[in-house]
Structure 1
Amino acid sequence: MRTWQVERRKRTRHLIKLGGLVVKAGIVDLTGDDRAIILGALIWMAEKLKSEQGEHARQLWAGKGKQALAMDRKGQRMPVAREPGQV
């Protein structure tokens, strides 16, 4: 197999894993698979990370992500954020 083929497969696998995170987080269901909403949210995240509050957001999101991944490894449901007042 050629080097470019190996690299292409690695990239494809990486992108599939990233897409899986979007599904695991419940984003696909919550947005009705609306790609404009999903992209808008990702752009908002990128802007937040570039802002003065970027380090705080990074720490907060990393903590939530680590907790969710640990729960997933144990076979438990990942927590989904809810709006205040929702049950």
Structure 2
Amino acid sequence: MKRRERTRQLIDLGGLVVKAELVELTGDDRAALLGLLVEAAARLRGEDREQALTLWRRRGMRTFADDAAAKDERQSRSIEG
């Protein structure tokens, strides 16, 4: 069961990288993607950890909300038309 949960977690995390358009923006450059993540981790180890987390959390929540709204709009159009 733990293996299945870990696999699900990895799939979800990969989905977030895709949702953020990082794969497309980096040309699927794995070294660049890792560098971005290492940079973020370094920032989280710094003095402005809470400020960075707050900013990133707000942006993430806004992105989830925008995606949900766009999905609802697409569904409404497909039902109407």
Identity of aligned residues (%): 51
Q: CA deviation at 1:49?
A: 0.7
Deviations 1:33-59 (A, max 9, x none): 000000000000000011011111110
Aligned-residue RMSD, C-alpha = 0.9
Tell me: higher relative CO, structure 1 or 2? Use CA pairs within 8 A at least 6 residues apart.
Answer: 1
Name which of 36, 53, 61 aligns with 1:41.
36
Aligned length: 71
Amino acid at match of 2:29: D
Q: Which position in structure 1 is the counterpart of 2:64?
A: 69
Name which of 13, 16, 22 aligns with 1:21.
16
Q: What TM-score, normalized by structure 1, do the two folds share?
A: 0.78
| Higher helix proportion (structure 1 or 2) | 2
Q: What TM-score, normalized by structure 2, do the two folds share?
A: 0.84
Gap runs ≥5 in structure 2: 72-81
Deviations 1:9-56 (A, max 9, x none): 111011000000000000000000000000000000000011011111
Between the aligned partners of 2:51 and 2:70, the Cα distance in structure 1 is: 29
Please identify runs of 4+ aligned residues in structure 1 that moved more than 3 A.
Answer: none
